[in-house]
Amino acid sequence: MSQNMEKCVQLSKNHSLDVFNSFNSFNRHLPLPFMFLTNCGGEPFMAIGENKKGYHFFSPYFLLKKMLDESCMQLMILEPVGTDGCLIEYPERFYSLQTTGSSILVLKESISAIQTFSSDDIDRKLIDPGSKKD
């Protein structure tokens, strides 16, 4: 399993959400998934999402869905899974970040750093264990 980190951006107290527009947009051909660290201890921000099968999960991985104004954004919660499609608990390495219908609103004041990942990780085709030939 791979976890391809693209870059990490440290943000100052007076940062602008324009940093998201520079590397991530939900409407771009290749949006970049990301996680961010909070101002409270620098821990990854986690959200509860619901996958396409109706199961709930915790995830620190997101896609920018919409900028609501200069201080607030809507994020899609991504489900981290292994090669078989089963949920991977953070901080384990993921194989794919599956898109969901779950989203969350976040204020810029809660963000201290952003870590991006490869757009290839979004909805990566899963490996069918029955398709391997010996």
pLDDT in tens, 50-98: 999 999 999 999 999 988 888 899 999 999 999 999 999 988 899 999 9
Is the predicted pLDDT of residue 42 greater than 70, yes or no? yes
pTM above 0.75, yes or no: yes
Per-residue pLDDT at 134: 47
The answer to whether position 134 is within a domain reads no
Higher pLDDT, 18 or 70: 70
Is the predicted pLDDT of residue 12 greater than 60, yes or no? no
The answer to whether position 19 is within a domain reads yes
Domain count, the chain: 1
Contact residues for 77 (Cβ-Cβ < 8 A; gap 6+): 47, 48, 49, 59, 61, 62, 100, 102, 103, 104
The answer to whether position 91 is within a domain reads yes
d(CA 103, CA 74): 7
